[in-house]
Amino acid sequence: MLKKYFSAGLLLWIPLAVTVWVLESIIRWSDSLLGLLPPDWRPDAFLGFHVPGIGLVIAGIVILVTGVLVANIIGQWVLRAWESLLEKIPFVRPIYSGVKQILQTILSDQTQSFKEVVLIEFPRPGVWTYGFVVAEPGKKTAKEIGGESLVTVFVPTAPNPTSGYVLMVERSALKPTSATVDEAFKFHISLGVMTPAADKSA
């Protein structure tokens, strides 16, 4: 009985503590960016006291304003000039273009990346895990591999789903699943403890 109550307490406090820690880290990091401003320009100088999280609010406003500016003709011209400059810097070019392409894929309304969950045999036949279909390899790559219906699948590592393996496999080697994207991510983050709802009800 004591173990039951202790486990119930852990289930309440640990997720709450981790959530607070993540939010506090984001707020502290955003507030630290205000240190880049001249002392007289910082919000603390105008308000007379520090407001936690104001850096995050300002960052959101800056992102929104720059998005509006970049969306017009003049902004597009400035952006092209800026990217042309970055393209000439050897070490910066692959990082900038790679990150931009990933964001364009994820943020696009038409993209199907990370919207389809599949079951894939990994790291060897007979061992299954959840993966996410992210794209289809280019025609040149597909021709070199010799596949007829290749797809690129991302398999996250546990418990950190931000890293993982990118695999090019035949569509026929994958099994469809009713698991949602959220459920599949929770499966990896929880080390397999949190299984999709469809599995629980089966």
- Same-domain status, 69 and 164: no
CA distance 189 to 155: 12
163: DSSP letter: S
Residue where a domain terminates, one of 78, 107, 136: 107
- Same-domain status, 37 and 68: yes
Structural domain of 159: 116-201
pLDDT the model gives residue 175: 94
CA distance 178 to 170: 20
Q: What's the one-letter identity of residue 87? A: E
- Same-domain status, 120 and 169: yes
- Same-domain status, 22 and 103: yes
- Same-domain status, 77 and 167: no
Scan for tokens 């990346």, then name that residue: 113
Residue where a domain terminates, one of 81, 107, 133: 107
Per-residue pLDDT of the chain (202 residues), as tens digits, is 777 777 777 777 877 887 888 778 878 887 777 777 777 777 777 777 777 777 778 778 877 888 777 777 776 777 778 778 777 777 777 777 766 766 666 666 555 677 889 999 999 999 999 999 988 888 888 788 887 788 999 999 887 777 889 999 999 999 999 998 889 988 888 888 888 875 554 4
pLDDT the model gives residue 73: 72
**Helical (H) or strand (E) element with 160:** none
- Same-domain status, 99 and 15: yes
pLDDT the model gives residue 48: 73
Residue where a domain terminates, one of 70, 86, 107: 107
How far does the chain reach from its first CA to its final CA, in angstroms? 29
Give start and end residues of each alpha helix (H) in the chain.
Answer: 2-32, 43-47, 54-70, 73-87, 92-107, 139-145, 181-189, 197-201
The total of structural domains in the chain comes to 2
- Same-domain status, 89 and 141: no
- Same-domain status, 143 and 186: yes
Nearest CA among 125, 135, 130, 113 for reference residue 176? 130
Model confidence, pTM: 0.56
- Same-domain status, 172 and 84: no
Cβ atoms 106, 114 nearer than 8 A: yes
